[in-house]
Amino acid sequence: MDLMKEFPDNHFDLAVVDPPYGIKRFKNIKQRGNRVEEHFKSGLWNNNTPNTSFFNELFRVSNAQIIWGMNHLCEHLPNTQGFIYWHKHQNGNFAEGELAWASIGNGRFFDLPYQQDIGNKIHPTQKPIKLYNWIFANYAKEGMKILDTHMGSGSIAISAHYNKMHLTASELDKDYYNAACERIERETRQLTLF
Tens of pLDDT, residues 71-103? 888 888 888 889 999 999 887 777 889 999 999
Residue ranges in the chain whose pLDDT is less than 50: 27-39
**Neighbour tally for 111: CB within 10 Å:** 11
pLDDT at residue 191 in the model = 60
Angle at 85 between CA 83 and CA 182, to 5 degrees: 100
Query: Measured between alpha carbons, how far is 77 from 145 in angstroms, rounded to an integer?
Result: 22
Domain boundaries, the chain: 2-188
Backbone angles phi, psi at 164, to 5 degrees: 60, 45
pLDDT in tens, 8-31: 999 999 999 999 887 765 544 443
**Segments of 18-170 assigned E as strands:** 62-68, 82-87, 97-102, 108-111, 145-148, 166-169
Cα separation values, 158 from 64, 71, 123, 193, Å: 21, 27, 15, 21
Say whether 125 sits in a helix, a strand or coil.
Answer: coil
Is domain 2-188 given the CATH code 1.20.1340.10 in the classification? no
Quickly list H helices, the chain.
2-5, 29-32, 52-61, 70-73, 129-139, 155-162, 174-188
pLDDT at residue 30 in the model = 44
pLDDT at residue 8 in the model = 98
